[in-house]
Structures are given as C-alpha cells and as structure tokens.
Amino acid sequence: MLKKQQRRVIVRMKESSAIENALPVSPAGFGESPYKCTPLHVDANGTQEPYEIPQKIEDRPQAIQSVTYGEDYGTMSEEAKCLRRTYTIEAPDGADLETLIAEMNGNAEVEYAQIDELNEILMIPNDPSFNDLWGLKKINCEPAWEISEGEDVVVAVVDTGVDYNHPDMRDNMWTSADGKFGFDFSDNDDNPMDYHGHGSHVAGTIAAVGNNQTGVIGVAPKAKIMAIKIFPNAFDSVIARALRWAVDNGAKVLNNSWGPRNRRPHNRVVEDAINYVNSKGGICIFAAGNSNDDTQFYSPANMTNVITVGATDKNDRRAGFSNWVAPVDVSAPGVDILSLEFKTSNYVSKRGTSMACPHVAGLVALALKIKPEATFEEIQRRINNGVDLIQPDQVLGRGRINALHTLQNMLFKLQTGTVLQETGDNFEFALAPNRDIFAIKKRGTGTNSTEVHVLSAAQNYQAFSLQTGTPLYESGSNFQFLLAPNRDLFVIKKDRTGSNSTEIHILSANSKYRRYSLHTSTALHETGDDFDFVLAPNRDLVAIKKRNTGSNTTEVHILSAATKYRSFALHTSTGLEETGDNFEFAMAPNRDLIAIKKNSTGTGSTEFHVLSAAHNYRSFSVQTGTILHETGDNFTFAFAPESDLVAIKKNNTGTNSTEVHILQVNKYKVPATSEAVLAKL
C-alpha cells in the first residue's frame, strides 16, 4: 500500500559547498521546525535516517555535511561526485515548495533543486487471454538461443519487486553474498518481494527459466534477475539510490518499465543516476511510455544514453498507447504478453510499453554474454543494425528488434560508421594490405578528376590518411578500380576504350596517385557490365565473366602481369553457374576466388562461395550463408589479408555515413565440415 505521499525537495550542491549554508531561513509553510535532510549517496544497507538542520543560522553547525567531506571524494568519478553532492529535504504539509525551489535555485551554492516526484508503472492491465509467447517468436529468439542464452548476465528489474518464489523464476534469481535477492528501496529493507505483480511479469519476460517443463521461457533464459523494488514509493530520490545500488552490486542491464505520471522533459536527479550507471558500464533500458505522445517530453526515457523502447502488436503495428518518435530507439512486442503471475505458479497476459521494455533488456543480456566488454554505444548500434523494418503509424525508432540478427551482429569483428558520408554508385572501394579503405570517387567530384580518399584502419575509419585528386579525369560506370599489394591503384576501363581492348592504367602510390606507372591495352576484348575484375597477390589480373558466357558457367580469365597483361595465364569455366549483378567477387591471399552473393539467395543471408585455386576454380572449398543479412547494390565487399570479409555499406545506412562491417573469418556461420577449410583461407 502506498505510504502517505511524502513531500520532498531534491538539491544538488556545488563543490566545496555545504547544505547547511544553502537552506533559507523560515521558508513559507515550514514554521520553526528544523529541516530534515538526507544525503542521497548513503549506501542502501539499512534504513536511512535524516539528520536535522535548525532554521536559525546561529543554531546551525558549521558545514558538518560539506559536500566534499570524506577522503574518497577526490578519487570518485564525476558521475559519483554528482550523487555525493545530492540531498533530499523533507517538507511539512502546507509548505510552499515552488517558492523554496525557486529560492534555492537562485542560491550561488546550489546546482539545481527540484520536487521529488512520484513515478508510475507503465503497464496497461488486461485479462488473461493469450496463451502463447508470440513476442519471443516475433523477435526470433529460438535461433538466437543457439548463440547465447545470456548465461549469468545480471539484469536488475527496477520495479515493484519480484516474486522470487515463482517456480519459473527461482533458479534464475541473483543473490548477494548474504543470500538476499536484491533490495527494497521503497521500504528500506532487504526483502524485494513483489507486492503488485508488475515486476514479476517483467522479470519473466526477461529471464523465466527455460527447458524446465514449466510455464514460459524468457528472452534470456539463463540470465540472473536482481530484484530492485522502488514501488509503491517510487520517488525520484528513491529511484536514484536504487539505480546506483544496482550497478554497484553487479547489474549490467537495468530494466526500467516506469516513468513520470505526466509530461516531464527533465529529471535531473534520475538523469544523474543514469549517468553514473553508464560510467560504471551498466546499460539502462526504458519503456517509452503509454501516453500516445511524443517521447521527448518524458524523462528519463528521452535521454540519449538509454535504450528507449516503444510497443508493437502481433502485426508489427504501433500499440495505440505507445509513445513514439525520437528518442525511441527501437520497438518490441508489448500487447498480450504472457508472463509470470505473482503469488501463484500461474501466468497472465498484460500489455504496455512496460511489457515491450523487458524484451530489449533480455536481448541486451544475450548480447553481453557474447561480448561482456561491449559498451552502451556498441550494444545500441548492434541492436539498431539488427532490427526488422516495420511501417507503424508513428516512428518507433529504427525498427522492431530481432534477437538473431542482433547476436549475429555481435559476431562481427567491427561495425562502425565512418567519417565518409553516404556515398553510392559514384564511389568504388578497395582494401589496402594494412586494411585501410580506399574510397574512389569516380564522378560528381566538382574537380573534373577522379578522387582518392583513404580511410585509416588504425583509427577505425574515423579519419582520412589521404584525400587527393588524380590525373585521371572523372571516370564512370565503365571503370573499375583495384588496389595492388604495394598500394598502386589499378584503373580498368572495360568498354568505350577506342582500342577494342580492356585497358589498364596504373596510378602510382609513390606519387600519391598524381602520376601513372603504366598505360596499356590488354589481350582481353572490351568487356562491360557482365565482367568483374579482381587482382591476384602477384598482380595478375583476374577477369570474371559473370553471364552471357555461352557455357552456362561463370568464367575466369587471368591476364599475366609478367607480360604486362598482353597474354593469358588461364582461361577456364568454373564450378559456379552464370551469376550476374547480385554477385561480387574478391580474392583470398592464396588466390582462391570468393564469390559473394548479395541478394536473391533464398536464405535471407549474404552467401559466401569459395572456388578453389588448387582446382583451377572447378570446385568449391566452402559454400555457406554468413551472419550478414542479404545486402544488394548498396553494399560492396573486399577481402582482408587475414581472410576477414569487409562489407562496406555505401548508402541507405540511416546514419548518413558510409559504414564498415567486418566479418571475422572464424565467426562465419559455416557447416562443421567446412570450418577447417575456411580457417585455411
């Protein structure tokens, strides 16, 4: 039952200040009663008794609670210092809090003062009517569990408590060294038993025990639930203490299916606590809210350093109650969600963004099991990159979460936006031996010159090591570019040459691409769009005819570097049928030919077919789907020296940046019989 609503003010002091010196004398409605003041930072290991500060200045002790007291203050993080300098002040009935807050905010020693408001649960009750876990199937959990089940990742459910006796939750409860399941900040004791049912329902969606022949299963069926009870007295100060305690005691993920009762764009004390959580490596997930309103008006769901979740129904439509638009990051199922019923061994369906939020919290637990050191930014990016695109009536972030795609994204060696804006068909890419990426702008340069922009691998493609125009006029679709091992740039003109021959023009790396080291026609007739070219490690030029071959097979023609491309070293058909524009080719360091099928695969995955050089490209050494979705014309591929596959997304990224996705060779999704072969590439 809700206690009589307390009336409190929250104050954060500046450094080297004292709360005793900042409190006004005889504010309206306070009478002569002393102030009751409680430091927010006190560890939650028992009841927290306020200390009293007299109204009269002459009766006050001198700075007994200076905000910088204690030898440890100087070693704290900035986020921890903010909480150390924060206090709550209890106010009697009838006190004029607005005037008190205005006066304190005008004090030079005060950073901010605000009312300690009560927050509410973001769930819409519903009768039990749905007996299937449609949400987990919709977000593709079953195949995701083959990669991770969230083993032992600690998820704090900051809520109404958790029924830790429920048969589908007992085995997945976190416990402290003294056997406690968490903490009750609403009543200041160590028994976080659920009094309402909301928290148990949320906890079940996150981590109900799986494969126990009982009830339901959670998104992360082997994660651990830390019960953090903040309701019914979920004041801002209570929540701030709870968030800090949870992350200090090992929570990596914090589920927050609650928010303000009404529009409230800022909540400084809770925002301070979330910043502290982030500084400790924790990740906060927030329900967007159920007001059918713009989420920007609701703190802390509108913060950029939390993952905010909107709600969808079984048809991927926005749930009519769900808040929307930025800063919602993603959406998840939030209607008719079946989970635990507290104080029973039964199950119940509920709806609300409260029910959507734990789907994402569980997904974050799955992801952290794969990569425990992942930062908030990386987790957010990988989830965003893995969503299924939907068409709700209002924007719900990047899309609806897909657990399998997110976990596959976690297996990438690197996923990052670059300093290069989205590009497109007027750009072509090549990979240097040191993994620098060459972005070659073929046309639309404004300088009437083909340009070279080199993205530095040493700085994760966040900086250029070279940007220059070349002596080559703007080129176009009939040109293709390749990079030699010594970083010379090969310019291959496929048609409209005037010599009825495919031509090679080599731009010298030593001149920073300002001079040519070779101009020559080749033994190959003019080619065109049905040809693709790759460069072998010894600078032989491999011409791959993708279609219109007459032999119903993709063909390989190798022009010899030893004869300056005037003669062939090999003509052969391959083990691959005719291909087309949905294929791209690359060459491994051992001269195996990599055929990358970007779309129309039938598997929903970009595919990887390795033609063996040892068998003159007549047989495959690997054929496999990858962890990369089907791609298409807005992707281009390169093969790194150690056999990693580099996927460069040129446009339609959603980030206004050309993106780099590197698949690690030992993390491709390959049949067991092919793993040894692939490892040798």
Q: In sequence order, what E strands does 458-515 have?
A: 464-473, 479-483, 489-493, 501-507
Asked whether the beta carbons of 602 and 590 are under 8 A apart, the reply is no
Q: Residue 478 contacts by C-beta under 8 Å, 6 or more apart in sequence?
A: 493, 494, 495, 496, 528
Active site residues: 159, 198, 354
Q: What is the DSSP letter of 381?
A: H
How many Cβ atoms sit within 10 Å of the Cβ of residue 537?
A: 14
Contact 310, 396 (CB under 8 A): yes
Is the link from the previous residue into 327 a cis peptide, with omega within 30 of 0? Answer: yes
Q: Please give the Cα distance from 670 to 606 (Å, whole number).
A: 12
- Prior bond of 232 cis (ω within 30°): yes
Question: 165: which 2 tokens?
Answer: 């006796």
CB 401 within 8 A of CB 138: no
Nearest to 350 by CA among 204, 234, 208: 204
First to last CA, the chain: 65
For residues 433, 434, 437, 438, the Cα torsion angle rounded to the nearest 10 degrees is: -60
Give the other-Cβ count within 10 Å of 114's Cβ: 21
CA proximity to 394, closest of 317, 314, 299: 317
Handedness of CA 433, 438, 442, 446 (dihedral sign): negative
Q: From residue 209, how far is each of 167, 172, 339, 365, 402 by CA, in Å?
A: 9, 6, 11, 14, 21
Q: Give φ, ψ of 152 to 5 degrees.
A: 65, 10
The string of DSSP codes covering 208-251 is: ---SSSSS---SSTT-EEEEEE--SS-BHHHHHHHHHHHHHTT-
- The beta strand positions in 45-184, using DSSP E, are 51-53, 86-90, 110-115, 119-121, 154-159, 182-184
Q: Element (H or E) spanning 557, and its range?
A: strand 553-559
With helix as H, strand as E and coil as C, how does 323-338 read?
A: CECCCCCEEEECCCEE
